[in-house]
Amino acid sequence: MEKLFNPAKVAVVGVSPAEDNLGRFIMWNLINHGFAGEIVPFGRREGCVYGHRIRSLKDVPSGIDVACVLVPVSRVLEVVKLFHDVSGTRRFVVYTGGFSEYGEEGERIERELKSYALERGILLVGPNCLGVMNFSSGFVTPFAKIEHRVIKGRISVISQSGGVASSYINALSEEGLGLSKVVSIGNKLVLDECHYIDFLADDPETDLIICYLEDVKNGRRFYESLKRCRKPVIVHKANVSEAARRIARFHTAALTTKDELVTAAIKQAGKIRVRSQEEAVLAAKALQLPRLKGRALAVVSRSGGEGVILADAAALNGFELPEYPKDILDFVCSKARAKVIRPTNPLDLGDLYEMPAYAEVVERIAQKDTFGGIVFATQFYAHEWDYAEELLRRIADISKRYNKPITVFIGGDRSKLDEKKALSIYPIFNSPESAVKAMTYLL
């Protein structure tokens, strides 16, 4: 599996000089994401793409670690056999659709391909997939250009859908969360979610795994893989309604799995089940923080109205809001203009305009054993955004030093907020409610 994500020599089968050729896009991704290995393109038409000569399939060299195959379904098995026999290739990424999700002929070809692969110990990704991505090494192989900025980091994604994989890449990068590896598993003919979970569980470049699945073919193996994995795993399981079942059957040939059984397996393995991408990203952001000890929260807000919202969210999520000790209130009052601070939790900092004092308040609260975590909500106006980066760095330091989760919501200019998220200094949550909800993933 290691060479599947870190090959030295890669074949791309199905390349032509045409501007809209999908094999050409695979090469574009490899080159533009900085893949340092050798790229060998193959196709029916002679020519040159990005400085690489297109070879005939009669000219297959030895030593191909991974073959990326994008040819018509009727030719896939022929190409796999050729590379395995001539080059000794044991790792294939098959993008082609039209197998069991399409009809009887596709099912027949799929059975033959699976039989051949299993007999010879071939590791096959897909078919009907978007490809493999290792952003740390530049081995990025989708047949669609990944042109947007991808933040490199330590979250890996396993997705049964290529489109959903792309959505997760976008969403995690937009939130300032870095990606390590992404694999689109498609029909998972040979390699399924369990193989990838087992690999990523030992991957030194992965700290957190997100899975998007439409079915689970072997519930016992799935549970065991989750249980063995000592890293957090967030499972976004779809295909739970009758309408979704009809669509999924023609998407990745996914069959329904009893939802309550999947949920029970995930919970019993100590992992997180979510029902939307938004919820998965929220959980991923939360899991960048220390664990929460107990249900007592300190809530600090610059807006009285947001304080009310935060108090409701805390109650709805089962959290307690103990009173603040006198020394905290005295300190806040000493920094406030009107010197009037209501001794409540949430604590209203609306009368405090000294920006560095926000971090001082948070640190003094973090020192108190009364509170297991802190929710900090603020709005920034005009020149105050100049302080945002320093505030986030100080909060990151406080959270680490006192080993307490601090969830942060910042309201205001969206473009400036996006700039701060892109710095990847510290997770920023998108609403007061989500800043509280995030704490539920840390219990």
Fold match between domain 1-127 and domain 148-288: yes
Q: Judge residue 264's burial from the number of C-beta atoms within 10 Å of its C-beta, 0-12 exposed, 13-18 middle, 19 or more buried.
A: middle
d(CA 443, CA 440): 6
- pLDDT tens-digit readout, 17-31: 999 999 999 999 999
- At position 70, the amino acid (one-letter code) is L
Q: Any idea which of 79-83, 340-344, 362-366 has the lowest mean pLDDT? A: 340-344
Beta strands (DSSP E) in 194-270 are 208-213, 233-237
| Helix (H), strand (E) at residue 377 | strand 373-379
Q: What is the pLDDT of residue 253?
A: 46
What is the average pLDDT across 77-87? 97
* Higher pLDDT among residues 244 and 39, named by residue: 39
Q: How confident is the model at residue 254 (pLDDT cuts 50, 70, 90)?
A: very low
Kindly list the domain boundaries of the chain, sorted by start residue: 1-127, 148-288, 297-442
Q: What is the pLDDT of residue 368?
A: 97
- pLDDT tens-digit readout, 287-300: 999 999 999 999 99
d(CA 257, CA 259): 6
Q: What is the pLDDT of residue 339?
A: 61
The predicted model scores a pTM of 0.93
Q: Which two tokens stand for residue 185?
A: 């598993």
Question: Is residue 337 within 8 Å of 351, Cβ to Cβ?
Answer: yes
Q: What is the pLDDT of residue 257?
A: 61
Closest by Cα among 260, 268, 372 to 318: 372
Q: Is 148-288 a domain of CATH 3.40.190.10?
A: no
Given a cut of 60, whether residue 252 has pLDDT beyond it is no
Q: What is the pLDDT of residue 99?
A: 86
Q: Which two tokens stand for residue 72?
A: 């018509």
What is the average pLDDT across 236-262? 62
d(CA 157, CA 234): 9
Q: What is the pLDDT of residue 292?
A: 97
Average pLDDT of the chain is 92
CATH superfamily entry for domain 297-442 = Succinyl-CoA synthetase domains (3.40.50.261)
Q: Which two tokens stand for residue 135?
A: 């952003």
Given a cut of 90, whether residue 103 has pLDDT beyond it is no
* Residues linked to residue 320 through DSSP beta bridges, in sequence order: 296
Percent of the chain exceeding pLDDT 90 equals 81
Q: Judge residue 119's burial from the number of C-beta atoms within 10 Å of its C-beta, 0-12 exposed, 13-18 middle, 19 or more buried.
A: exposed
Q: Is 1-127 a domain of CATH 3.40.50.970?
A: no
d(CA 343, CA 330): 10
Closest by Cα among 307, 348, 344, 310 to 324: 344
Q: What is the pLDDT of residue 344?
A: 87
Q: How confident is the model at residue 336 (pLDDT cuts 50, 70, 90)?
A: confident
